[in-house]
Amino acid sequence: MSEQLIQIEQHGAVRLLRLNRPEALNALTAAMLGQLRQALEAAAADGATRAVLITGAGRAFSAGQDLADPHVAPSREPGAAPKDIGQILDHYYIPLALRLRSMPVPVVAAVNGVAAGAGANMALGCDLVLASEGASFIQAFSKIGLVPDCGGTWLLPRLVGRAKALELALLGDRLKAVDAERIGLIARVVPDAELLDTAMALAQKLAAMPTRALAETRRALDDALKLEFEPALKREAALQSQLGFAYDYQEGVAAFMDKRQPEFQDR
């Protein structure tokens, strides 16, 4: 059986995916990226899964691309042909970033330690990012002569504005979790020992909510960034029309009127 580079656990309606190469700080190899993609596809296809939680095994979330990977590391042999590392992005990271952003269920990241390079931007591409007090974020790319990838150039200015985005991306310095929360890069910092329980409780809470409306909310927010105000208003109305015909709206209003907990179903 092939090595489990992504550990998968089901906790009720929450699917927990754990990056599992702790000896290399969960640095991302082609095999690992392949397994992560498969795990996300499986979670998306499983009607009983209503939220995904991603975390890392060991002391790191992920150190980003595995720089020892022969497909990525520049050859030290004199005269060796340079490698096109853009192909790794085309093949692995772009589909991964797009899949995260288009999951039919909310995705929570529990950043349990350092998140560097593509590992940081993979976390930041999730819907709600929690981090432990000991965690940190590093846009490590500039240190090795690259630009932020895995969505970093798009995400950073939108999350924290141009000034902070440039500070993080140009310097490539370590940003502590508490500072990441302060500047609005992530949603919440929690004490180290409470991270997984807190993130799981949050994922369970989201799993009990109207899943389809949550996925449409993410899409509407992302799309609104490229719209003028009036088209955004019209888009909201169109989405509201669709959701208004769906089961969860009927159930949500009925539960409110009946003063009971709703049981949502749409996905």
Residues engaged in binding ligand LHQ (CB under 6 A):
24-25, 27, 63-68, 72, 85, 88-89, 114, 116-118, 138, 140-141, 144, 146, 149
Give the residue with the Cβ less far from ligand LHQ, 67 or 232: 67
Minimum CB distance to ligand LHQ, residue 140 (Å):
4
- 1 token code pair: 């059986």
We find the least distance from the C-beta atom of residue 141 to ligand LHQ, in angstroms, to be: 5
State which residue, 25 or 203, has the beta carbon closest to ligand LHQ. Answer: 25
Question: Within 10 Å of residue 204's Cβ, how many Cβ atoms?
Answer: 17
Integer Cα distance of 137 and 185 in angstroms: 10
Q: Least distance in Å: CB of 236 to ligand LHQ?
A: 36
Quote the least distance from Cβ 171 to ligand LHQ, whole Å.
Answer: 13
Which C-beta is closer to ligand LHQ: that of 19 or that of 140? 140
Q: Which residue is nearest to ligand LHQ (CB)?
A: 117
DSSP 177-219: HHHHHHTTSSSEEE-GGGHHHHHHHHHHHHHTS-HHHHHHHHH
Q: Which residues pair with 130 in a beta bridge?
A: 110, 188
Between 25 and 109, CB nearer to ligand LHQ: 25
Q: How many Cβ atoms are within 10 Å of 57's Cβ, its own excluded?
A: 19
CB of 96 to ligand LHQ, least distance (A): 11
Q: Is the CB of residue 119 less than 8 Å from the CB of residue 29?
A: no
Return contacts of 233-238, CB within 8 angstroms, 24+ apart.
none
Alpha-carbon distance of 240 to 43, in angstroms, equals 26
Query: CA-CA distances (angstroms) from residue 240 to 7, 28, 160, 217, 224?
Result: 37, 39, 29, 10, 15
Q: Which is nearer to ligand LHQ, 23 or 228 (CB)?
A: 23
> One-letter amino acid identity for 94?
I
Min. distance of Cβ 146 from ligand LHQ in angstroms? Answer: 6
Considering the complex, state which of residue 27 and residue 123 has its C-beta at the smaller distance from ligand LHQ. 27
